[in-house]
């Protein structure tokens, strides 16, 4: 689908969910490598020191930009579990998605993830809705736990929810490329 086309295809917004550690980020990454065109967005990776998870970083899918989003040693009022979150560190990633939404080319928007840490950024909160309302295909991981914002995203009539399991995770990237293309 190109900008300006009718958005009747309800599979243009695909949300992948599943328990932690099942491979959602890997599925999103593998799918991004196989998509036939420009990709904008980010993945979230664990930061580990001495075998222990100490935080999370965002990595751009188009430019390699990296930024720590959360860490055990940050001092901020925004917390998820033992991690303090710096929502301001999402700004360049949100800007990348906003820029892609203005593109005249076909762009695939990939977001890893729509979750508690990311939702501390009000700008991110809004760009997710803009992306899903756009003519561009969106593939995003989304937290499985109940959350009013995430539940409203999952219940959109133009969104398809796909659960990642050990049985389907290897085949999902190919299936998602076919769905989004």
- List, for residues 114-162, the tens digit of each pLDDT value: 999 999 999 999 999 999 999 999 999 999 999 999 999 999 999 999 9
- Domain region containing 115: 13-44+88-180
Q: What value does the mean pLDDT take over residues 165-173?
A: 95
Write the pLDDT tens digit of every residue in 1-51. 333 333 444 458 999 999 988 999 999 999 999 999 899 999 999 999 999
Is 132 inside a domain boundary?
Answer: yes
Mean pLDDT of the chain: 92
Domains contained in the chain, number: 1
**Tokens standing for residue 163:** 């659960």
Cα 68 from Cα 10, distance rounded (Å): 34
CATH of the domain at 24: 3.40.50.300
Is 50 inside a domain boundary?
Answer: no
Is 59 inside a domain boundary?
Answer: no
Is 164 inside a domain boundary?
Answer: yes
Instruction: Give the pLDDT band of residue 108 (cuts 50, 70, 90).
Output: very high
Is 154 inside a domain boundary?
Answer: yes
- Specify the pLDDT at position 9: 47
**pTM reported for the whole predicted model:** 0.91
**Buried/exposed 100-125: b ≥16 CB within 10 Å, e otherwise:** bbeeeebbbbbbbbbbbbbbbbebbe
Instruction: Give the pLDDT band of residue 75 (cuts 50, 70, 90).
Output: very high
- Specify the pLDDT at position 11: 59
Is 73 inside a domain boundary?
Answer: no
Is 2 inside a domain boundary?
Answer: no
| Per-position DSSP letters for 27-87, written without gaps between them | HHHHHHHH-SSEEEEEEEEEEEETTEEEEEEEEETTT--EEEEEETT---S-EETTEEE-G
- Specify the pLDDT at position 5: 39
Is 6 inside a domain boundary?
Answer: no
- Specify the pLDDT at position 103: 93
């Amino acid at each position: 689908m190109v900008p300006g086309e009718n958005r009747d295809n309800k599979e243009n917004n695909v949300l992948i969910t599943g328990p932690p550690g099942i491979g959602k980020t890997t599925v999103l990454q593998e799918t991004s490598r196989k998509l036939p065109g420009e990709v904008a967005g980010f993945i979230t990776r664990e930061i580990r020191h001495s075998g222990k998870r100490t935080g999370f970083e965002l990595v751009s899918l188009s430019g390699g930009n990296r930024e720590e989003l959360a860490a055990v040693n940050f001092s901020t009022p925004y917390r998820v579990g033992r991690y303090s979150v710096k929502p301001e560190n999402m700004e360049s990633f949100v800007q990348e998605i906003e820029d892609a939404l203005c593109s005249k080319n076909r762009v695939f928007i990939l977001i890893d993830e729509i979750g508690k840490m990311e939702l501390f950024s009000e700008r991110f909160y809004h760009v997710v809705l803009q992306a899903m309302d756009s003519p561009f295909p969106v593939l995003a991981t989304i937290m499985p736990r109940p959350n009013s914002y995430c539940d409203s995203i999952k219940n959109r009539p133009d969104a398809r929810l796909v659960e990642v399991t050990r049985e389907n995770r290897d085949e999902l990237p190919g299936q998602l490329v076919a769905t989004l293309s």
